[in-house]
C-alpha cells in the first residue's frame, strides 16, 4: 500500500498566508494530511516569514511535537511506500526548495523585504525527516 503524506494547505488552501493563492491538487490514493504548523503556531492572520525567522528552538520543538501523532501512524506503515509532498518555497513545509532572506525589524514597503529561494527543506520538514530517520522509516520527498 502506497501512502501519500501531504502538507496541510495542499488540501486546505484557506490556511495559507493571506494573499497566497492555492489550488487543491488531484492527489489520489491513501492520503494523510499533515497539520499546518504556521497556522497553528501563528494563526491565520500571520505575516509571511522566511526560514531564518523560524530557526528558533521553541518552533522546532513545536514542530517535533506536532508531528508525533502522524509519525506514530507512519511507523505502522513503515513497510509501505511513503511519499511526502511539501510546498515549494515554504519556510516550514518545503521538501526541496525553501525561502530565506527576511531579516526582520519594522514592517516596511513590500519591495524592501527581499527574499530568495534556495534548495533545502523547511523547518517542519527537517523535523519530519529527523523523526522518520530515528524510527527507521524511509520516505520520498517532493514539492507541489
Alpha-carbon span 37 to 8, nearest angstrom: 9
> Does residue 27 contact residue 6 with C-beta atoms inside 8 Å?
yes
| Higher-pLDDT residue of 144, 103 | 144
pLDDT at 45: 84
Closest CA to 77 of 24, 4, 19, 128: 4
User: Where exactly are the structural domains of the chain?
Assistant: 2-143
Q: Mind listing the pLDDT tens digit for each residue in 18-53?
A: 655 565 567 777 899 999 999 999 988 888 888 999
Residue 103 burial (C-beta neighbours within 10 Å; 0-12, 13-18, 19+) = exposed
- What's the residue count for the chain? 144
Under 8 Å CB-to-CB from 79, ≥6 apart: which residues?
Answer: none
Q: pTM here?
A: 0.86
| Higher-pLDDT residue of 109, 40 | 40
pLDDT at 89: 92
Closest CA to 66 of 27, 17, 33: 33
* Residue 33: count of CB within 10 angstroms of its CB: 16
Residues pairing with 31 in the sheet: 4
Residue 6 burial (C-beta neighbours within 10 Å; 0-12, 13-18, 19+) = buried
Q: Mind listing the pLDDT tens digit for each residue in 124-135?
A: 999 999 999 999
Alpha-carbon span 143 to 86, nearest angstrom: 5
Amino acid at each position: 500500500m502506497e501512502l501519500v503524506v501531504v502538507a496541510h494547505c495542499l488540501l486546505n488552501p484557506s490556511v495559507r498566508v493571506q494573499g497566497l493563492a492555492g489550488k487543491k491538487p488531484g492527489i489520489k490514493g491513501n492520503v494523510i494530511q499533515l497539520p499546518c504548523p504556521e497556522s497553528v503556531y501563528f494563526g491565520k492572520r500571520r505575516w509571511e516569514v522566511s526560514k531564518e525567522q523560524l530557526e528558533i528552538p521553541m518552533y522546532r520543538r513545536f514542530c517535533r511535537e506536532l508531528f508525533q501523532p502522524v509519525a506514530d501512524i507512519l511507523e505502522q506503515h513503515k513497510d509501505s511506500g511513503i511519499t511526502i509532498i511539501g510546498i515549494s518555497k515554504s519556510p516550514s513545509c518545503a521538501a526541496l526548495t525553501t525561502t530565506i532572506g527576511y531579516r526582520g525589524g519594522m514592517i516596511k514597503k513590500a519591495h524592501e523585504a527581499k527574499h530568495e529561494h534556495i534548495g533545502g527543506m523547511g523547518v517542519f520538514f527537517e523535523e519530519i525527516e529527523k523523526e522518520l530517520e530515528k524510527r527507521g522509516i524511509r520516505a520520498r520527498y517532493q514539492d507541489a
